[in-house]
Structure 1
Amino acid sequence: MPTGFTIDFISLLIGLVLGAVFVFAYAMRRISSLEKEKAAMQNMGQTFDALAQESMKKSAESFLQLAEMRLKEAHKDNSYDLEKRQKAIADLLGPVNKTLETMDEKLQTLEKARLTAYTELRTQISHMNEDQAKLRQETSSLVQALRSPSTRGQWGEMQLKRCLEMAGMVEEVHFSLQVSGDGQRPDAIVHLPGGKQVIIDAKAPIDSYLNAFKEDISETERNQALDAHARHVKDHIKRLGSKSYWSQFDSPEFVIMFLPGESYFSAALERDPALIEAGVDQRVIPASPTTLISLCKAVMYGWSQEKLAESAKEISDLGMELYKRISSFGGHMENMGKGLERAIDSYNKAVGSLESNVLPQARRFKDYQLGGGADSLPDLSAVETTSRHLTAPELVETDEKNER
């Protein structure tokens, strides 16, 4: 092989090696540069993210602080307005609440009285039935004692008083005994609601009835004694009618003739069925203990109804007073609304005068540069809102009366 060719080959080989080394070095330098750029980009991204997060955090904190401050201010203003309104409403409705409480107390008292009266009535009816049975037994045992006129009179008055008390009456409150008037002296006077009185006579004859139950008496004699008893009762009815108690006392035009036992009345009625009609003609009502107690119970019911009526009237008066106060309150509210409308009208007129007469002259100072760098004059707008008028008939009626 020629020497020149060998040298060229070696030179070419060295050149290739050097070129490869140069290319490798350039590539390594380029790779190192790219890695540095990548690291720099990563650092820039991290820095940007950190700055963005910090900026967002500061913005959020500022927004929250501002929102909290505004919210506190609004809450403070609203709380103050709410307290003022609540106090104003409480001051206005205080008398109404007091009246309603009084009315509620009266209603509760009335309901308690009604329940008590109903319970007492049932109890008294039960006691009346028990006492009536005892009364019949006592009547039989007292037959012998009643043959004495004085004893009989005392016993009749005692039975009369007992019947009145069994009906729930109180002496000198609901009835009076042995009251004199123009020469007449009835055994008892029952007081009615409204000032009227009912006269009761307890002197009905029972001698013939007692004779009918003597020992060792024949059936014929017993029948004759019972007939005489009916006749004597009828005669006594005529005598009572002729006394005209109702013309001497403030009484209805009738008298009650009290017979102190059921058997006295039933025996007379059995012998003379027209006895009741005769009493009606003479304005005399025959009454056994049961009948008298029933009549007096009716009278006591009238007393209880009068008491209820008094309570109802008191409640009605309270209701009317409440109605008047509500009406008066409505008038005040209407006057307040009219005052607001007058204030709004005056304000709108003032705004119109300010805009048409005052502000044009004031703005001329600025044209001559006499404003001293002050801000522009504010523009005022008229108020278009009007107050709401009352529509309730009671409140409107009161306002119309006030205007008249």
Structure 2
Amino acid sequence: MPAWKPISPTPAIRLAICAPKNAELRVLLETEKARTGENLALLDDARRTLTDQFRALSTDALARSNASFLQLAEENFGKLQMAAKGDLDQRGQAIAALLQPVVEHLGKLDTNLREMEKTREGAYHGLREQTALMRQLYHELKSETGNLTRALRAPTVRGRWGEIQLKRVVELAGMLDHCDFQEQVQTPEDRKLRPDLVVRLPGGKTVIVDAKAPLEAYLLAVEATDDDTRRLHLLHHARQIRTHIKALSEKTYWEQFKGNTPEFVVLFLPGEHFFAAALEHDPSLIEAGVEQSVILATPTTLISLLRAVAYGWRQERLAENAREIAAHGREMHKRLSTFTEHLSKIGKGLESASSAYNSAVGAFDSRVLVQARKLAEFDTAGLGDSLETPPPVETALRWSSAVASLPGPSNNG
């Protein structure tokens, strides 16, 4: 018997079988759709309601939070402001205390600057006045120099100017008391040799100074307008000095003063520039002068020479004072010796008088007073007070050992 096999339903059968189920499912689906729509509507209403409530709650909470925050911030800010104000006051006071010395220093500095400004203005004003005065003096000096240059061309004026310069040098050296000028000096044997200055040295010696140096060529050089002409005049100036040295050497002043002066004469140039210009164009002038017993001297060197002589005179005065002091000392010693001799005689006389007085007192006590007391025993009327013995002199005379050691008048030197 064949096996039983199940028969597969056909699609139509399946469709017939599922049709009721499908209808039921469709109804259920529509029902679920309707319910879902209602639920969604409820959800929308709930969402709107919750949104409105949340918005209201949020606004209220934010408002309260803002109000609290503002109040708290205001309180904290007030506290901070008060603290900051106090701290600011303290810092201001501290800064003011720190800045006070600076302010005072700046005030003093400002005052000093004002005073300096006034001083500067005064100094500038004075400087302007001094500058104007110097400008005026320069023009006056230039004019006077020109006048002096023109005047010095005359030999008599030039010689007089040299004598004035020479006398001024002597005054600066403090040697007026030991210098004789031309009008005071005469040489023997009727020779026309009249030195401008004779410097007296300690011990009776002298030094001759001549001030007749030629200056014509130098004055022409000063007025020259070009270098070549000026150089030619200065060369002539050096030659003039050399010629004058030779002429001065030939006068042999030292022979006219009988050996009281060294064998040289001093040629005085009344300015350093005269000597410098001559030496620049003839460097052998000094050697030439020494070889011919003529010493060139300017105001500086002559002052040095005269001050050395003045020092010698001071030493001479000190030696003279020492000699006078020694003479007075010898005389004082002599007189002291005589005085001590008389003083010794007085002491011996006083000692002798004291001895005689004590002997008289002893005799009066041992002889006269005894007799007088016996007379008083008879109570003779009118005798008065009783007689007393005079005290003896017991003080010994004091002798000076220093005075006693002095020799007598016959022993002094």
Give TM-score scaled by structure 1 length. 0.47
- Identify the structure with bigger relative contact order (alpha carbons < 8 Å, sequence gap 6+): 1
- Structure of greater Rg: 2
